Amino acid sequence: MRRDGFLKSLAALAAAGALPAPAQTALALKMMIPANPAGGWDATGRALGKAMQDAGAATSVSYDNKGGAAGAIGLAQFVNASKGDPNALMVMGAVMLGGLITGKPPVGLDKVTPLARLTSEYNVFVLPVDSPLKTMQDVVGQLKKDPGSVKWGGGSRGSTEHIAAAMIARAVGVDPAKINYVAFRGGGEATAAVLGGNVTVGGSGYSEFAEYIATGKMRAVGVTSDVRLKGVNVPTLKEQGIDVEIGNWRGVYGAPGITAAQRKALIDALSRTVKHKSWQDAMDRNGWTPAWLAGDEFAHFVDAQFASLRATMAKSGMI
């Protein structure tokens, strides 16, 4: 075979992900983050991009933040701009499922390629440090007295903290349809609202509020886990007599129309990355729990989550 013909064949095999790992070239990746900066998806996407470079799975990673509508705006842009692109990734998670259920946008996750679930995280509810309310029981008491006077702040409509707030109301005998929920476009806005005392109670993934809880700028009053989080001295809702447990998770999708070989190459790159020290350090730093699930198993998980979330949201009067 002539040398130029051999090189073309080699390049074609590499593009299809058909070469052994040592012969594959690391990718110049494009990461869609369908949220504004400073939130959980942003932290996940940027930590993943750095770890992929540190693990040798990517030569470079560019980031595109496109917030709004619980990720639906970024999802639509990803679908339209990335068809067939094996170097394109999008971070997402449970929040997007809730947003798709409530918002019913024209573009859904059926248009993109499921790759892997990466992490799991529970939500924490916090009070502004100078709030007259001091505990979750104080919040519940005020909620029972006047549901509209308790302003819940968090992510987009349909986010896990929105669902959790509705579940709390239902669990304590308050009509979930009466809760006063203020949706913010990203974790940064929600954080600012809590710090500024512009909401009664704020909800988010624990990692997003951890710094402010540790420095006393927010008062944590409950987590949505079944048992207390390791190393975190915050009571669960359940131990406070509120029968609510709900988790958040985050994962990665590929572009529409990539080949089976290209999908496998991306999953292999992600698998290699989550074993690397750079990603492990990010997990520890953010208090994320490993939740690796890849390929078709991840796709089936997402389908089951859609059904479960829809049922929960219907029970809580959200849809």
Rounded to an integer, the average pLDDT of 239-243 is: 97
Identify the residue whose tokens are 């702040």.
Answer: 153
36-66 pLDDT tens trace: 888 889 999 999 999 999 999 999 999 999 9
**Highest-confidence segment of 4-8, 10-14, 187-191, 266-270:** 266-270
Q: What average pLDDT does the structure give for the chain?
A: 90
Query: What is residue 230's predicted lDDT score, i.e. its pLDDT?
Result: 84
Rounded to an integer, what distance in angstroms lies between the CA atom of residue 149 and that of residue 38?
Answer: 28
Query: What is residue 111's predicted lDDT score, i.e. its pLDDT?
Result: 97
Of 64, 113, 114, 116, give the one whose Cα is nearest residue 256: 113
**Residue 219 contacts by C-beta under 8 Å, 6 or more apart in sequence?**
126, 127, 128, 129, 131, 134, 213
pLDDT higher for 10 or 101? 101
Of 238, 250, 230, 292, give the one whose Cα is nearest residue 159: 250
Query: What is residue 14's predicted lDDT score, i.e. its pLDDT?
Result: 45
232 three-state secondary structure: coil
6-37 pLDDT tens trace: 444 434 434 444 444 443 557 899 999 999 88
Alpha helices in 69-204 (DSSP H): 72-81, 94-103, 136-145, 160-171, 187-195
**Residue 7 contacts by C-beta under 8 Å, 6 or more apart in sequence?**
none
Query: What is residue 18's predicted lDDT score, i.e. its pLDDT?
Result: 43
Q: Find out whether 306 and 94 touch, Cβ atoms under 8 Å.
A: no
Rounded to an integer, the average pLDDT of 259-279 is: 98
| 247-254 and 201-205 strand pairing | unpaired
User: CA angle, corner 250, sides to 285 and 172, nearest 5?
Assistant: 95
Burial class (CB in 10 A: 0-12, 13-18, 19+), 94: buried
Query: What is residue 316's predicted lDDT score, i.e. its pLDDT?
Result: 82
| Inter-CA distances, 308 with 117, 246, 292, 311, Å | 17, 11, 20, 5
Query: What is residue 174's predicted lDDT score, i.e. its pLDDT?
Result: 96
Other residues' Cβ atoms within 10 Å of the Cβ of residue 189: 17
Query: What is residue 161's predicted lDDT score, i.e. its pLDDT?
Result: 92
Rounded to an integer, the average pLDDT of 236-248 is: 95
- Of the chain, the percentage scoring pLDDT greater than 90 comes to 75
**Highest-confidence segment of 22-31, 181-190, 219-228:** 219-228
Rounded to an integer, the average pLDDT of 211-239 is: 94
26 three-state secondary structure: coil
pLDDT higher for 90 or 23? 90
Which parts of the chain are beta strand (E)? 27-33, 58-65, 88-93, 113-128, 151-154, 180-183, 201-205, 218-223, 247-254, 289-294
Q: Find out whether 138 and 165 touch, Cβ atoms under 8 Å.
A: no
Identify the residue whose tokens are 């996940």.
Answer: 44
Rounded to an integer, the average pLDDT of 194-216 is: 94
Q: Which two tokens stand for residue 127?
A: 């009070």
Q: Is the pLDDT of residue 313 over 90?
A: no
Lowest-pLDDT range, 89-98, 162-171, 226-235, 298-307?
Answer: 226-235
**Highest-confidence segment of 221-230, 279-288, 292-301:** 292-301
